[in-house]
Amino acid sequence: MAIKLKIFRRSITANIISVLIIAVIAVLFLYPLALAVKTGVIENSRISFYWLGRVLGSEILLRQLCNSFLLAICTTLAAVAISIPTAITATNFRFRGKSVLGTLILLPLILPPFVGGLSIKRLLGQFGVLNILLDKLGIIDISAGLPPDWLGSGFIGVVILQTLHLFPITYLNTCAALANLDPAYVQAGRNLGAGPIRNFFEITLPLIRPGIFAGASIVFIWSFTDIGTAAIVGYDDLAAITIFKEIAKADVSPLTYSLVLILLAASCGFYCAGRIMAGAGEYCGSTRASVAFEPGKFGKAATAAVWLLFGTVIFAAVLPHIGVVVTAVSDKWVRTILPEKYTFRHLAYVFTKAEIRSSLMNSLKYASVSTLIDLIIGSIVAWLIVRSRPVAGRLLDGLVMLPLAVPGIILAAGYVVMTAPGTKFETIGPLRNPFGILVIAYAMRRMPFFVRSISAGLMQLPESLEEAARNLGASKFMTIMRITTPLLLANITAAAVLTFAFAMLEVSDSLVLAQLQQDYPLTKQIYVQATSGNTDALNIASALGVYGMAFLGGAMAIASLMLGKKLGAIFRA
C-alpha cells in the first residue's frame, strides 16, 4: 500500500511539473505565434482574410513566395541528391578511412552559410575567382565582354550555400533509414534476379523513403525561410526577406503578418508531413533483422573513388569558408585568383573597435543565459518523458520539438508583435531592451537539442542502477546527483556546448530583435559590417566570421568527443 501511495504521489508531481512546463512553453512560444497569426487574420475583433487576399493578389509578393518555394525545392533536391550516394556508400561498405570521412562529412554543419555568403561573390561573381581562373586557362575571355554570372543574380549562390550546409541533415537521416533496413529484403530481390539498380529503385528506395523525407522536410523548412544567406548574398526577391525588412522596423502590419501566416502554415505542414512519413517507416525498422548484414569491402581503386566522392563534396562545402578566411587576411585582392598582399590587421581590429567588442560580449551573454535555461528545462523535460512518463508526456514531447518546425524569422515576427509599443512587454522590445526577448528566442529555438541529447542518454541508462541506489537508502536527489548525472555528463556537456555555440551564431532572431547598436550580437554585427559599403567592411565582417567559425568548430569538436557517433542523432528529424 505504501509503495502504491509513493508511486501515486510521484505521478502527481510529474504531471504537475509537466503541466507547468507546458504552460511556460505556451506563454513563451505559442503565445507570440498566436499573436502573429492574429495580426494577419483578425481585424476589428473579427476573422478577416482581406490581407491574406492582398498577399495572394499581389504580383510582387506572389512572385517572392514562388521564388521561396523554388529555392527550397532546389536546395532540398540537391541535398537529397548528394546524401543518397554518400549515405549508401558509408552504410553498406567498408573501406580505409571510413571513420575519418564519416566525421568530415558533418563538417558543413559547423560552417554557417550566412558566413560563407561573405565570399561567394568573390568566388563565383562575374569578375570572381572562377572566371579569372577560366580566363587564365583560355576557356573564356573576360576582356571580350561580361563573363558568365555563376550566381544567377544571387539565386544559384543561395542554393549552393544552403545545399552544402544542409545536406548532412538528409545524409544522417538516410544513414539511419539504411541502418534499420532488413537485409533480407535486398537479398530476396537478388535471389529473384533483380540487379543492383532495380533492387535499389524497387526495394531499397521505397523502404528508406520515409527517412529521406523526414530529413528533407527539415531542409525544406530551413531553406524556405532562411534570411541570413540571402541577405548576405544580396538576393532579396524572397518572402522571408520581405518579412525581415518589414518587421525589422518594429512596424506591425497586417499585410506583413498575412505573409508570415503563409510561411508558418507551409513550414508546419512540411514538418508534420516529415514526421508522419518518418513514422510510416517504423514498421520496417521495428523488427529484428532476419539475416545478418555483411557490408561489402572496397579495394584500393574503389576506396580512392570513394575518397574522391566524399572529398569533392567536403571541399565544395568548405570552399566558401576558405574564401572567408582568405578575405579576412587579405590586404589587396582585386581581380586576381589570390590576394596580392596579406595582413592580420582585420583580425586584430575586431578587438580594438568598441562596438565590435560589444557585439561579441552581447553574444556571450545571450548565449550563456539561454543555454542555462535550456539546461534546466531541457533536463527536466527529458527526465519526464523518459522516466516519469506523465499523462501529458506526448503533448510535452511534441511541444518541445515544435521549434524545429517554426523558423526563426516567424518566431521573431511573433516576438515583435508581443513587444510592440503599447503592449505590456514593450520594455523588452527590439527598440528598448531586447536582452530578455533575445534570450527567450535563443532558448526556444535550441531546446530540442537538449531534450534529444539527454533523452538519448536516459534511454541507454539502465533504471536498475538508480533503483539500486534507492534500495541502499539514497534519496531521490542524491541518486540523481551521484548516479544519474555523472553517467549523463557526456550528453549534458555535448548538448550544452552545441546549444551555446549555435546560439552564438543565431541569425534570424538576431537580425530582427536587435535594432540598437549597443544590443547587436555577433551575427548582426557581421551583417551590418558586410552591408555597410565602408572601406574594408567585407574584410572586417570576414574576420568576425573567422572567429565565429573557429568557435563553432571547437564546440563541435568537443561535442563529438563527448558523444562520438551519437552526435549525429541530435540533427535527425
Across the strands, what pairs with 42? Answer: 47
Could you tell me which residues come within 8 angstroms of residue 371 by beta carbon, excluding any fewer than 6 positions away?
443, 446, 496, 499, 500, 503
pLDDT of residue 283: 43
Q: How far apart are CA 300 and CA 162, in angstroms?
A: 33
* 259-270 as b/e: b if 16+ CB within 10 A: bbbbbbebbbeb
C-alpha cell at 531: 552591408
- Strand stretches in 277-398, DSSP E: 296-297, 330-332, 341-342
Among 40, 76, 412, CA closest to 221: 76
Residue keyed to cell 548525472? 485
Q: How far apart are CA 46 and CA 49, in angstroms?
A: 10
Number of CB atoms found within 10 A of residue 162's CB: 27
Residue keyed to cell 527567450? 440
Farthest-apart Cα atoms in the chain, separation: 92
The CATH number assigned to the domain with range 49-288+295-343 reads 1.10.3720.10
Contact criterion met (CB below 8 Å) for 17 and 380: yes
In this structure, the strands spanning 46-47 and 330-332 are unpaired
Q: How far apart are CA 238 and CA 236, in angstroms?
A: 6
Number of CB atoms found within 10 A of residue 487's CB: 16
Q: What is the mean pLDDT of each run of 10 residues along the chain (573 residues)?
A: 48 85 91 89 81 87 92 94 89 82 76 80 83 84 77 86 88 81 78 80 83 83 87 88 81 83 85 67 47 67 88 88 89 84 88 86 92 91 84 84 84 89 85 90 88 79 76 78 78 78 84 89 88 81 85 71 58 52
Contact criterion met (CB below 8 Å) for 357 and 518: no
Across the strands, what pairs with 332? Answer: 341
CA 461 to chain centre: 28
DSSP state of 147: P
Residue keyed to cell 544522417? 172
Across the strands, what pairs with 341? Answer: 332
> What is the dihedral sign for C-alpha 326, 331, 333, 337?
negative
pLDDT of residue 5: 45
In this structure, the strands spanning 46-47 and 42-43 are antiparallel
Among 154, 32, 149, 174, CA closest to 90: 174
Contact criterion met (CB below 8 Å) for 207 and 88: no
Q: How far apart are CA 241 and CA 221, in angstroms?
A: 15
Contact criterion met (CB below 8 Å) for 513 and 412: yes
- Cα Rg, the chain, nearest whole Å: 25
Number of CB atoms found within 10 A of residue 158's CB: 28
In this structure, the strands spanning 93-94 and 46-47 are unpaired
pLDDT of residue 72: 93
Position 143, amino acid: S
Query: What is this structure's pTM?
Result: 0.81
Q: How far apart are CA 452 and CA 174, in angstroms?
A: 19
Number of CB atoms found within 10 A of residue 354's CB: 7
Cα angle value 541/545/550 (rounded, 5°)? 155
Contact criterion met (CB below 8 Å) for 75 and 219: yes
Q: How far apart are CA 539 and CA 544, in angstroms?
A: 9
For the chain, give every residue range classified as CATH 1.10.3720.10. Answer: 1-42+349-573, 49-288+295-343
CA 437 to chain centre: 20
Q: How far apart are CA 412 and CA 33, in angstroms?
A: 9
CATH architecture of 1-42+349-573: Orthogonal Bundle (1.10)
Could you tell me which residues come within 8 angstroms of residue 150 by beta carbon, excluding any fewer than 6 positions away?
124, 125, 128, 130, 131, 156, 157
Number of CB atoms found within 10 A of residue 456's CB: 19
Could you tell me which residues come within 8 angstroms of residue 460 by beta carbon, excluding any fewer than 6 positions away?
none
